[in-house]
């Protein structure tokens, strides 16, 4: 696992359930932050200077490389 329980890039089994939730849920959790049973995600990865578009692009990259 990555920091704070985050799935590692390319770990298909760790990403499968997250990807199944849909891009909009992943975007929301990444932009606003999220705490779940497997860990937490700080808003914008802890960098409030990131634009929503940059966060969404990062999510898209991670999803595409973890299918």
List the domains of the chain with CATH numbers: 12-64 (1.10.760.10)
For a pLDDT cut of 90, what percent of the chain falls above it? 79
Rounded distance between C-alpha atoms, residue 60 and residue 26, angstroms: 9
Q: Which one has a higher pLDDT value, 61 or 6?
A: 61
Mean pLDDT for all residues in the chain: 93
pLDDT, tens digit, 9 for 90 and up, residues 40-52 = 899 999 999 999 9
pTM of the model: 0.87
pLDDT, tens digit, 9 for 90 and up, residues 22-31 = 999 999 999 9
- Alpha-carbon distance values, 10 to 1, 33, 62 (Å): 11, 22, 8
């Amino acid at each position: 696992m990555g920091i704070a329980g985050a799935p590692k890039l390319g770990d298909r089994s760790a990403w499968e359930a997250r990807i199944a939730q849909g891009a909009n849920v992943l975007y929301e959790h990444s932009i606003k932050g999220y705490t779940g049973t497997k860990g937490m995600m700080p808003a914008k990865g802890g960098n409030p200077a990131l634009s929503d578009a940059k966060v969404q692009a990062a999510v898209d990259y991670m999803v595409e490389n973890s299918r």
